[in-house]
């Protein structure tokens, strides 16, 4: 046996793939993305062109264009998309996915996220991401959770760190998106880091942490201190 370091042994049983089923939270319900969501999504996107700045698609000029995009995304298995329906409004206002699924490596990415302006920076938005992370880590047993974004996307980078991801580095000139060079910032959360992030998110999302006007009583970072 070589004396070279080769890393710890791990459980090599391949992880299961997620099922395309609804997921219910306190502040939000995630529904498998379907063409029927397109009308709500197009309405939610009104006036929010900046929300598409770092995505490879959008904004959409018509309901028909949005419907075509949603219909195509809804039948994919990787990424697998869910529509985001906040409990407070009852109206679908975004989507997100699990993607780059690697069952043999127990690695999976939370990504392809689009939240309409009215969904951004709300408890529903945070819980939507938490529900998929919990599905991946707790229900399916994935060991590595991944987040990546355009390196210029400051809001996405802040969101990753807020959720508990750790910055790993930047791949330079990684892609071309809408005719422009994209450097990609990579973040991850591994199995021994997830319990602390899960506890903080669970505590922050508790309805008792929000005042009657919906404002938070304690910031998420305070639950990790």
Instruction: Give the per-residue pLDDT at 224.
Output: 87
| pLDDT (tens digit per residue) in 189-212 | 999 999 999 999 999 999 999 998
The full set of domain ranges for the chain reads 23-223
Average pLDDT over residues 116-122: 97
Output the average pLDDT for the chain: 97
Choose among 115, 106, 128: nearest CA to 188: 106
Average pLDDT over residues 168-181: 98
Average pLDDT over residues 141-157: 98
Instruction: Give the per-residue pLDDT at 1.
Output: 57
Q: Do β-strands 23-24 and 28-32 pair in parallel, antiparallel, or remain unpaired? A: antiparallel
Report the CATH number of the 23-223 domain.
Answer: 3.40.630.30
| pLDDT (tens digit per residue) in 150-167 | 999 999 999 999 999 999
| pLDDT (tens digit per residue) in 49-79 | 999 999 999 999 999 999 999 999 999 999 9
Average pLDDT over residues 16-24: 98
Instruction: Give the per-residue pLDDT at 3.
Output: 86
């Amino acid at each position: 046996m070589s004396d070279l370091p080769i890393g710890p042994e791990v459980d090599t049983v391949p992880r299961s793939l997620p099922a395309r089923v609804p997921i219910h939270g306190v502040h939000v319900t995630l529904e498998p993305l379907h063409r029927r969501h397109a009308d709500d999504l197009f309405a939610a996107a009104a006036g929010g062109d900046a929300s598409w700045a770092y995505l490879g698609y959008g904004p959409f000029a018509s309901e028909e264009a949005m419907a075509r995009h949603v219909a195509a995304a809804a039948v994919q298995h990787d990424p697998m998309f869910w529509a985001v329906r906040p409990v407070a409004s009852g109206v679908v206002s975004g989507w997100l996915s699990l993607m780059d699924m690697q069952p043999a490596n127990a690695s999976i990415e939370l990504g392809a996220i689009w939240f309409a302006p009215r969904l951004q920076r709300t408890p529903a938005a945070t819980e939507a991401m938490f529900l998929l992370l919990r599905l991946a880590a707790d229900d399916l047993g994935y060991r590595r959770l991944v987040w990546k974004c355009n390196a210029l996307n400051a809001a996405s980078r802040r969101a990753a760190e807020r959720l508990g991801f750790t910055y790993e580095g930047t791949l330079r000139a990684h892609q071309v998106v809408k005719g422009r060079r994209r450097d990609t910032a990579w973040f991850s959360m591994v199995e021994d880091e997830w319990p602390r992030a899960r506890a903080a998110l669970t505590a922050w999302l508790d309805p008792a942490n929000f005042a009657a006007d919906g404002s938070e009583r304690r910031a998420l970072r305070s639950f990790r201190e």
